[in-house]
Amino acid sequence: MKVERLIDQLGDLERCQRQAARVALIAMGPAAVGPLIARLGEEDGLVRAGACRLLGQLGDPRAVEPLTSLLRDEKAYVQEAACEALGELGDARAVEPLIACLGDEDLRVRQAACEALGKLGEARAVEPLIGRLGDTDSDVRRAACKALGRLGDARAVEPLIARLGDQREDVRQAACEALGKLDDSRAVEPLIARLGDGHRDVLQAACEALTRLGEGRLAQAVTGALGRKSESLGELARLAAKGDRRAIEPLMARLGDENRELRKAACEALGGLGDRRAVEPLIGRLGDTDSDVRRAACKALGRLGDARAVEPLIGRLGNVYPEVRKAACEALGRLADARAVEPLIARLGDNCEDVRLGDNCEDVRKSACEALVAIGLPAVEPLLARLGDEKWLVRRAACETLGKLGDARAVEPLIARLGEKHWDVLQAACEALGRLADPRAVEPLMARLDDKDSAVRRFACAALGRVADARAVEPLIARLTDDDSDVRRMVCEALTHLGEERLATAFSQALAGESGELVGLALVGDLRALGAVVGLAGPSIEPGLKALQGALKSRFSQLWCRRCLARLGWHTTPSGMKWPACRICGETIRVTHLVREAVVVLDENWSEDQTLSDGVLRVNWLKRRAVFDFDRVEIVAATDEDVERFCIQVGNDTDEFRQARYKGMPCRVARQCALSENTLRILRSTFGEMVRA
């Protein structure tokens, strides 16, 4: 018969023949069941095994008893096939015989029995299957895990949790999957611990199981963090802020992973959790074989802020890799522990002469500087001591750091550094003094405005701008004529900081041929920038000067030089341009006021040098003891000797402008001023009119 021939082919040595026979027999359906059952006693083991599997696929319950008898077959592969078939049939009559097979000496039979019992779904199998979780063979243990997951009985929870620590990753994976199906909260914490498993499949299974248990947010955050996803790191931090720090254990477990990327990711994640349980494990990673992991451990320890990390981090300051030294500096800055001051100062002179990577380590020096600033006052005295260090890098960094620390004790030592020969150190000293903004630095910084090195002049300008002391305004304006355009630009910036933005703008615009703002300043008596503009702009400023002449025509006589106490005159440049400046010093820097009338006053009871009110300048000659461009004389309270000395000075004055005016100048003597007739006679002969009032 055809069916018998097909059954015979199940024992054929050619696989393709066996497969063709199986397909044909399946196609025959129920008609093949009887002949297949009849051949279960066939001498050929391959035929018996093939008949078992086909009966399982055909699903006819008549095969249960015959198949059960084959569970004791002499051939293990036949027993295995019978187990598989009974599992497919799903008949409860097979439960006890299959349980008996769990103790078979052949591991394939035990594995197949586990799988079949899982499919049958009978609670009677739970305890026997739990017993197989400790099987000597990992495939049997894995099959038992899966079967218990399918059965869904809570008795299996604790035994399955125990299998999460199995030495074989496939068993751990199966245990995770089973616990996810059991939906028991007792499995949550053990599954979270498995998120630190070193095998990706186990990690994924634990994550999926936790998701089914309602802990997907945590699971996804941990797995994402290990993948260095920034959003996952943020999620872990948010969970930690809410008190959920359950990720700490799995992440710490990954610190020892053979994959350096996972170790690095674990360090980064632990730093954001704020849990000090991670401190010691992270300290252990400071000696990792990979420099990126060491750097990540430094950063994490800095974020955790635990003092236990100070000494280990100090030890990393000498690491061969600059990025590790930089991270150690940054971490020590976060910890702000005074023990780190001297080691950090040593890094201010960081160089890479002995480092095989060969970078310039500027980042390390900057990080050390910032760390010292974070430590604060304990760093001041040690840094002051290093201002005289033989290494210029250390001196420079000490200046920079002291400037940022903002301690007034550094002012005088930094002023002393203004005589520094090394360009970088001098720049750092100027910048530091600018940051400190102490008035004591103004005069020393102004002295550097005349330095022969244009770079030094730039530094001094910038520092004076930050100190913002009005004494620096005129010296800075004088530097508007500097040959170096960068110095002039820095002067303008400094003047802007000092409240002279309009003047700086007028200067810059005038050099570009736009003199409107310069004229506007002149109309209010401010010609301070004019001299610099004329000296630098040349013929290009001529249209502006012509406009200036017209604008000043009605008030030219009221412009006044404060230094010389003299009126202005028209000066001519080598190119023939006329421009207004002090008729004595030829400068415009100090022309700032509109003086309608100047009065020289002799009053021994007056304590001030001079006053300006409503366009009237009153100057106390008894204080000044020098003549100037005055328009009239007032003697309020003075001795004969003082008045005569004043008259002698006037008589000896060689200034042609003033000489021509004295004889027509009024002189008023207060009635209460008791002067001798001789003194009064001298006054009458010196000035045009003397009146007592």
Q: What is the pLDDT of residues 133-174, one digit of tens each?
A: 999 999 999 999 999 999 999 999 999 999 999 999 999 999
Give backbone dihedrals phi and psi of 422, rounded to 5 degrees, phi first: -80, 125
d(CA 625, CA 536): 37
* Cβ pair 492, 465 in contact under 8 A: no
* Cβ pair 133, 157 in contact under 8 A: no
CB atoms within 10 A of CB 685: 11
Assess whether 390 and 466 both reside in one domain.
yes
Nearest-10 Cα torsion for 622, 623, 629, 635: -30
Which amino acid makes up residue 689?
A: E
Token pair 């010292």 is at which residue?
A: 372
Q: Name which residue leads in pLDDT, 57 or 108.
A: 108
Strand 610-613 vs strand 666-669: parallel, antiparallel, or unpaired? unpaired
Q: Write out pLDDT tens, residues 31-85.
A: 777 777 877 888 888 888 888 888 888 888 888 899 898 999 888 998 998 999 8
The highest-confidence range among 188-202, 418-432, 543-557, 633-647, by mean pLDDT, is: 633-647
pLDDT score recorded for residue 9: 67
Residue 488 maps to which CATH number? 1.25.10.10
Assess whether 565 and 607 both reside in one domain.
no
Final residue in a domain of this structure, among 472, 499, 526: 499
Assess whether 582 and 607 both reside in one domain.
no
* Cβ pair 145, 169 in contact under 8 A: no
Assess whether 484 and 531 both reside in one domain.
no
Kindly state the DSSP code that residue 289 receives in the 8-state scheme.
S
Q: Is it the case that residue 353 has pLDDT exceeding 90?
A: no
Query: What residues form DSSP beta bridges with 668?
Result: 634, 691
Q: Is it the case that residue 355 has pLDDT exceeding 50?
A: no
pLDDT score recorded for residue 358: 32
Q: Residue 554: helix, strand or coil by DSSP?
A: coil
pLDDT score recorded for residue 592: 64
Residue 453 lies in a domain: yes
* Cβ pair 467, 434 in contact under 8 A: yes
Task: Average the pLDDT over each of 23-27, 104-108, 118-122, 659-663 and give the range with the smallest value.
Answer: 23-27
User: pLDDT confidence of 359, banded at 50, 70, 90?
Assistant: very low
Phi-psi map region of 420: left, alpha, beta (phi>0 left; psi -120 to 50 alpha)? beta
Q: Write out pLDDT tens, residues 446-488.
A: 999 999 889 999 999 999 999 989 999 999 998 998 999 999 9
Final residue in a domain of this structure, among 594, 621, 645: 594
Task: Average the pLDDT over each of 242-246, 281-285, 291-295, 570-574 and give the range with the smallest value.
Answer: 570-574
Q: Is it the case that residue 676 has pLDDT exceeding 50?
A: yes
Residue 246 lies in a domain: no
Q: Name which residue leads in pLDDT, 557 or 288.
A: 288
Q: Name which residue leads in pLDDT, 409 or 531.
A: 409
Assess whether 552 and 589 both reside in one domain.
yes
d(CA 537, CA 588): 16
d(CA 676, CA 665): 21
pLDDT score recorded for residue 357: 33
User: pLDDT confidence of 356, banded at 50, 70, 90?
Assistant: very low
Q: Residue 13: helix, strand or coil by DSSP?
A: coil
d(CA 133, CA 459): 77
Would you tell me the crossing angle of helices 530-537 and 516-523 to the nearest 10 degrees?
A: 150
Residue 145 lies in a domain: no
pLDDT score recorded for residue 611: 93
Strand 616-620 vs strand 597-603: parallel, antiparallel, or unpaired? parallel
Token pair 């750091």 is at which residue?
A: 401
Residue 614 lies in a domain: yes
Q: Is it the case that residue 543 has pLDDT exceeding 90?
A: no
Give the total number of structural domains in the chain.
3
Give backbone dihedrals phi and psi of 203, rounded to 5 degrees, phi first: -60, -45
Residue 617 lies in a domain: yes
Q: Calculate Rg over the CA atoms of the chain.
A: 49
Of 341, 342, 346, 315, which is closest to residue 328 (Cα–Cα)? 315
pLDDT score recorded for residue 557: 80
Query: What residues form DSSP beta bridges with 580?
Result: 570
Nearest-10 Cα torsion for 575, 581, 587, 590: -150
- The mean predicted confidence, pLDDT, of the chain is 88
Kindly state the DSSP code that residue 246 receives in the 8-state scheme.
T
Assess whether 455 and 547 both reside in one domain.
no
Kindly state the DSSP code that residue 4 receives in the 8-state scheme.
H
pLDDT score recorded for residue 236: 78
pLDDT score recorded for residue 354: 41
Residue 613 lies in a domain: yes
Q: Is 428 exposed, middle or buried (0-12, 13-18, 19+ CB in 10 A)?
A: buried
Q: Which residues have a Cβ under 8 Å from the Cβ of 238 and sit 6 or more positions away? A: none
Q: Write out pLDDT tens, residues 296-305.
A: 999 999 999 9
d(CA 689, CA 663): 8
Please compute the mean of the pLDDT values over residues 351-367 and round it to a whole number.
Answer: 60
Q: Is it the case that residue 228 has pLDDT exceeding 80?
A: no
Assess whether 410 and 471 both reside in one domain.
yes
Three-class DSSP labels, 42-97? CCCHHHHHHHHHHHHHHCCHHHHHHHHHHHHCCCHHHHHHHHHHHHHHCCHHHHHH
User: pLDDT confidence of 221, banded at 50, 70, 90?
Assistant: confident
Assess whether 524 and 450 both reside in one domain.
no
pLDDT score recorded for residue 16: 75
Query: What residues form DSSP beta bridges with 582?
Result: 568
Final residue in a domain of this structure, among 541, 572, 594: 594
pLDDT score recorded for residue 639: 95
pLDDT score recorded for residue 239: 79
HSE (CB half, 13 Å, CA atoms) of 613?
4
Q: Which residues have a Cβ under 8 Å from the Cβ of 550 and sit 6 or more positions away? A: none
Strand 566-572 vs strand 559-561: parallel, antiparallel, or unpaired? antiparallel
Strands (E), 410-449: none
Kindly state the DSSP code that residue 287 receives in the 8-state scheme.
T
Kindly state the DSSP code that residue 258 receives in the 8-state scheme.
S
Q: Write out pLDDT tens, residues 422-431.
A: 888 999 999 9
* Cβ pair 664, 633 in contact under 8 A: no
Assess whether 672 and 563 both reside in one domain.
no
Residue 40 lies in a domain: no
d(CA 617, CA 599): 6
Residue 655 lies in a domain: yes
pLDDT score recorded for residue 403: 93
What is the percent of the chain where pLDDT is above 90? 52
d(CA 56, CA 229): 48
Assess whether 581 and 628 both reside in one domain.
no
User: pLDDT confidence of 489, banded at 50, 70, 90?
Assistant: very high
How many angstroms separate the most distant Cα atoms in the chain? 168
Assess whether 608 and 652 both reside in one domain.
yes
C-alpha to C-alpha distances, 488 to 80, 481, 491, 588, nearest whole angstrom: 95, 7, 5, 17
Please compute the mean of the pLDDT values over residues 175-190 and round it to a whole number.
Answer: 92
Domain that holds residue 465: 377-499
Q: Write out pLDDT tens, residues 575-610.
A: 777 778 888 888 887 776 678 899 999 999 999 999
Assess whether 432 and 385 both reside in one domain.
yes
Residue 46 has which token pair?
């391959």
